[in-house]
Amino acid sequence: MAESLPQELIDAIIDEVRSFGDLKACSLTCHAFSSRTRAILFREVKLSGRSQLDAFQRFHELCVESPHIPSLVQTLCIRGYHRGPTLLRPASDTVNSILQFMQHLKVIKFYDVTIGDFCDGSLARLSSHSFREIHLYDVVFHENGFDQMCAVLQGSPGLERLFVHHTGPMTVSMFGGDETNQPRLDHTHVTRRGPRIRDLSVVSRYSYSYPAFIEAILETKTCPVSVEKLRRFAFSLSKTIDFQHLAKILKLTSGTLRVLLLTFNCPHGIPFL
């Protein structure tokens, strides 16, 4: 019956299915359903290094057996990836191989990840992709992890959306300074070639002790991101320096910014801006 229907009509019907279980059932029903349902089912893949320790290895085996599957992946989410015993984290060649299979990856999301522990070659492999969106949630940078992430940003000239929540390096030295001397403010980076993002979200908890990621955009020359085309900006304010950062962002984006979302984490009132 399904084979007698135009494939365009079948695809349109499948596009209306929302349940993961229903999509999986459709993919097993007949060959005419399989291509579209698999494209939807594998549009986003979530791999966890915490609750499913063998998730990376099992997905890698799937990539080897069915190499057309990873080419369907547009969004990769990696959660709970930290340094630990060898048996409790995937081998770097496994992660690198998975990334190599994903030829059409457009969105990368990190949740609760230590970038320095994300295997030696994996970030280099990420920089070969051109992302439209990058999400960093509860991410910590060790060693040269921040520089590697900057390479990922620079390798994505079409980057449109950057989300940085509760994320930053362990020390100010990652920004080219040291623990006792804050780096001088400058905006030299704005003239550097880099993605002109349209949507930027930089949010931190009040108790968050790492330097805010916004410092990398405003105060150093290392982060190759331009805000000159920014249209939407979400930002949290906890300390006086955050209001100074906000003022500079507003000045840089005075001709383009359309949406401003602010979260106030100030326990002693709001300073004068």
- Residue 196, φ and ψ in degrees, nearest 5: -90, 85
| Sign of CA pseudo-dihedral 110, 244, 178, 197 | positive
Say which residue, 228 or 128, is predicted with more confidence.
Answer: 228
137 and 235 part of one domain = yes
**Per-residue model confidence (pLDDT) at position 145:** 66
Mean pLDDT of 169-195: 43
- Which residues sit opposite 81 in a β-bridge? 113
CATH number, residue 86: 3.80.10
Four-CA torsion 49, 50, 54, 55, nearest 10 degrees: -60
252 and 188 part of one domain = yes
- pLDDT of 157 strictly over 60: yes
Mean pLDDT for all residues in the chain = 76
Choice among 80-94, 157-171, 196-210 with the minimum mean pLDDT: 80-94
Question: What is the Cα–Cα distance from 13 to 268, expressed in whole angstroms?
Answer: 55
36 and 51 part of one domain = no
Range of the domain at 47: 43-264
Mean pLDDT of 190-219: 70
175 and 223 part of one domain = yes
pLDDT digits (tens, 9 = 90+) for 72-106: 999 999 888 765 555 455 556 778 888 889 989 99
Range list of H helices, 119-202? 122-126, 145-154
* Position 269 in a domain: no
- Confidence category of residue 241, pLDDT binned at 50, 70, 90: confident
Query: Residue 245's closest CA among 220, 218, 269?
Result: 218
**Per-residue model confidence (pLDDT) at position 208:** 55
185 and 225 part of one domain = yes
Query: Residue 47's closest CA among 90, 87, 84?
Result: 90
Number of structural domains found in the chain: 2
211 and 132 part of one domain = yes
pLDDT digits (tens, 9 = 90+) for 60-76: 999 999 998 999 999 99
17 and 96 part of one domain = no
**Per-residue model confidence (pLDDT) at position 266:** 66
122 and 253 part of one domain = yes
Query: Residue 201's closest CA among 226, 170, 166?
Result: 166
* Position 175 in a domain: yes
155 and 87 part of one domain = yes
* Position 68 in a domain: yes
141 and 228 part of one domain = yes
Check: pTM over 0.85? Answer yes or no.
no
73 and 35 part of one domain = no
